[in-house]
Chain A
Amino acid sequence: MEYLLRMEKLMRTPMKVAAAVFSSALMLVGATACSSNPTDGASGGNGSGAVTAITVRGCTPQHSLLPVNTNEVCGGNVLDASQAKLIHYNSKDAAPQMDIAESIETTDAINWTVKLKQGYKFQDGTEVKAKHFVDAWNWGAYGPHGQVNSYFFEMIEGYADEQCGESGDCQKEKPKADTMSGLKVVDDYTFTIKTTSPTSNLVVRLGYTAFAPQPDAFFADTTEDKSEFAAKPISAGPYRITSVTDTEIVLEKFADYSGKDVGAVDKVTFPIYNDLGAAYNDVVANNLDMTDTIPAGNLVDDLWKSDAPDRWGTKDTGVFQALSYAPGNVDPGLADVKMRQALSMAVNRDEVTKQVFNGARVPATGWVPPMVDGYKANACGDNCVFDAAKAKQLYDEAGGYPGTLSIWVNGDGGHDPWASAVCNQIKNNLGLDCSVQTTPDFATLRDMIMNRELKGLYRAGWQMDYPSIENFLTPLYATGASSNDTDYSSAEFDGLLKEAAAATDNTAANKLYQQAELVLGQDMPTMPLWYQQSQYIFSDKIASVDMTPFSRFDFGSVKLK
Chain B
Amino acid sequence: MGKYVIRRLLQMIPTLLGATLLIYWLNFSLPGDPTAGRCGERPCSPTYVAWFNHEYNLDKPFVVQYLLYLGKVVQGDLGTDFYNHSVLHELAIRYPTTLKLALIAVLFEVVVGLIAGIWSGMRQGKFADTFVTVVTLLLISMPVFVLGGLAQLIFGIRLKWFPVTAGATAGFYELLMPGLVLGALSLAYATRLTRTSLVENLRADYVRTARAKGLSRFRTIGIHTLRNSLLPVVTYVGGSIGALMGGAIVTERIFNVNGVGSYIYRSINQKDGVGLVGSITCLVLVFLIVNLIVDVLYSVLDPRISHD
Contact = CB atoms under 8 A, between A and B. Distances in A.
Interface of A: 3, 6-7, 10, 13-14, 17-18, 21-22, 25-26, 28-29, 32-34, 36-38, 60-64, 71-72, 143-144, 146-148, 150-151, 163-164, 167-171, 225, 227, 245-248, 271-275, 277-279, 281-282, 284-285, 287, 440-444, 446-447, 450, 461-463, 475, 482-483
A38 B157 contact: no
B229 interface: no
Nearest to A72: B40
B171 A277 contact: no
Nearest to B174: A33
Interface stretch (B105-113, B230-238, B288-296, B297-305): B105-113
A150 B48 contact: yes
Nearest to B126: A6
Contact of A62 (B38, B43, B174): B38
Contacts of B119: 13
A56 B144 CA distance: 27
A550 to B, nearest CB: 12
Contacts of B160: 285
Of B39, B93, B254, which is in contact with the most chain A CB atoms at under 10 Å from its CB? B39
A21 B112 CA distance: 8
Contacts of B107: 21, 25
Nearest to B108: A21
Contacts of A441: 32, 37, 271
B47 A482 contact: no
A461 B41 contact: yes
Given A29-B171, A36-B169, A285-B160, A443 B36 contact: yes
Contact of B169 (A38, A146, A273, A277): A38
7 contacts: A168-B48, A247-B168, A274-B252, A274-B265, A285-B164, A441-B37, A444-B31
A281 B37 contact: no
Contact of B50 (A63, A148, A167, A446): A167
B45 interface: yes
Contacts of A164: 47, 50
A468 B211 CA distance: 89
* Highest count of chain A CB atoms <10 Å: which of B32, B34, B174, B252: B32
Contacts of B258: 246-247, 272
Given A164-B50, A168-B49, A278-B253, A33 B171 contact: yes
B224 interface: no
Contacts of B108: 21
B256 A60 contact: no
Nearest to A61: B83
B90 interface: yes
Contacts of B51: 143-144, 146, 170
A449 to B, nearest CB: 9
Given A164-B50, A274-B265, A17 B115 contact: yes
A18 B161 CA distance: 15
A34 B174 CA distance: 11
Of listed B83, B116, B256, residue having the most chain A CB within 10 A: B256
A148 B44 CA distance: 7
B153 to A, nearest CB: 8
Nearest to B46: A168
A275 B253 contact: yes
Contacts of B167: 38, 247, 271, 287
Chain B: interface secondary structure?
helix
A146 B254 contact: no
B230 to A, nearest CB: 18
A447 B82 contact: no
Contacts of B90: 246
B172 A275 contact: no
B258 to A, nearest CB: 5
B307 interface: no
Interface in B240-273: 252-256, 258, 262, 265-266, 270-271
Nearest to B166: A278
Interface in B74-132: 82-85, 90, 93-94, 104, 107-108, 111-112, 115-116, 119, 127-128, 131
Nearest to B36: A443
Contacts of B265: 274-275
Contacts of A38: 167-169
Contacts of A18: 112
A461 to B, nearest CB: 5
Contact of B83 (A60, A170, A461): A60
Given A146-B47, A169-B50, A482-B42, A274 B171 contact: no
Contacts of A170: 47, 50-51, 54
Contacts of A150: 45, 47-48
B148 to A, nearest CB: 10
The 5 closest A-B pairs by CB, nearest first: A33-B171, A146-B51, A168-B46, A443-B36, A247-B168
Contact of B111 (A21, A29, A37, A287): A21
Centre residue among A61, A62, A171 by max chain B CB count within 10 A: A62
Given A272-B258, A273-B256, A282 B52 contact: no
Nearest to A412: B269
Interface in B57-86: 82-85
B84 A63 contact: yes
B41 A463 contact: yes
Given A144-B51, A285-B156, A278 B42 contact: no
B20 interface: no
Contacts of A442: 36-37
B200 interface: no
A375 to B, nearest CB: 20
A486 to B, nearest CB: 14
Contact of A443 (B34, B104, B128): B34
Nearest to B153: A281
Nearest to A37: B169
A92 B65 CA distance: 50
B152 interface: yes
Given A168-B46, A441-B32, 6 more contacts: A148-B45, A168-B49, A225-B84, A279-B256, A281-B165, A444-B36
Contacts of A248: 168
B33 interface: yes
A143 to B, nearest CB: 5
A63 B55 CA distance: 14
B199 interface: no
A230 B49 CA distance: 21
A277 B83 CA distance: 22
B173 A29 contact: yes
A444 B52 CA distance: 18
Residue from A163, A274, A475 whose CB has the most chain B CB atoms within 10 Å: A274
Nearest to A476: B42
B176 interface: yes
A378 B262 CA distance: 46
A333 B252 CA distance: 48
B37 A274 contact: no
Contacts of A151: 45
A215 to B, nearest CB: 22
Contacts of A444: 31-32, 36
